[in-house]
Amino acid sequence: MDERHTTNKKQIGIIAFQGGVSEHGTLCRTIGLEARPVRAIEDMRGLTHLIVPGGESTVIGRFLLQTGLKDAILDRWKQAGLYLFGTCAGAILLGKNASPYSLNCIDVVLDRNAYGSQLHSFSKNIKTTLGDESFPAVFIRAPKITSAGEGIAILATHEGNPVLCEKNRVLLSTFHPELTHDTRIHNYFLFDMK
Ligand code: GLN
């Protein structure tokens, strides 16, 4: 096991109302770290990293609002250095303007369902800045990132649109790394993001 695992004090949470919760948990476990489900403000205690999974952004967003987690997440991100990773619906929620429930914590505008319906879901090997080997990216009713503001680091694109990007401890992917066995993006989130 990577020695970073034995010395770290990471506490990982996954927003667990709906969507790809267990898949993210499994990938974290593959890396050697446990992640716990987050459904209430109390579950946020001590978290250093929080994953907002794919699923249905309207459903997840409504729960975030009703439980007070939306404000708690923003607060811990701003005040306590919490790292955030949103995949697909999670990216819609962390980014700007794509949903009435968006947290607007990264200057990235997304267009929901921009590739079409479930039938237009697809998988594609894409190049990323995380290594020479391409990444098997699974897009399921994915959003498109239509604009990325100043200083956003773009780690991968597909047909000219960013699909993996980050700034200020917020990482977004419009595809689903948790549906693969490739741990590189989760490793990046958990260990390498500044
Ligand atoms: N289309 C969904 C939404 O708008 C996102 C799909 C997904 O997370 N795979 O919330």
Q: Which residue, judged by its Cα, is nearest atom 5 of ligand 1?
A: 89
Question: In the numeric block, which tokens belong to residue 4?
Answer: 């970073």
pLDDT tops 90 at residue 99: yes
pLDDT in tens, 61-92: 999 999 999 999 999 999 999 999 999 999 99
Quick check: CB of 92 below 6 Å from ligand 1? yes
Three-state DSSP class for residue 2: coil
Q: Which residue, judged by its Cα, is nearest atom 1 of ligand 1?
A: 141
Confidence (pLDDT) at 6: 53
- What residues are annotated to the active site? 88, 176, 178
Confidence (pLDDT) at 68: 98
- Nearest ligand 1 atom to the CA of 87 is 8
Does the predicted TM-score (pTM) go above 0.75? yes
Side chain identity at residue 186, one-letter code? H
Confidence (pLDDT) at 20: 97
Quick check: CB of 112 below 6 Å from ligand 1? yes
Q: Are 191 and 4 in contact (CB under 8 A)?
A: yes
pLDDT in tens, 114-155: 998 877 889 999 999 999 999 999 999 999 999 999 999 999
Quick check: CB of 140 below 6 Å from ligand 1? yes
Domains of the chain in start order, with CATH, are: 3-192 (3.40.50.880)
CA of 87 to the centre of ligand 1 (A): 9
- Candidates 96, 8, 7, 17; CA nearest to 51 is 17
pLDDT in tens, 5-60: 555 689 999 999 999 999 999 999 999 999 999 999 999 999 999 999 999 999 99
Confidence (pLDDT) at 7: 52
Three-state DSSP class for residue 119: helix
Going from the C-alpha of 107 to that of each of 85, 152, 170, the distances in angstroms are 14, 8, 10
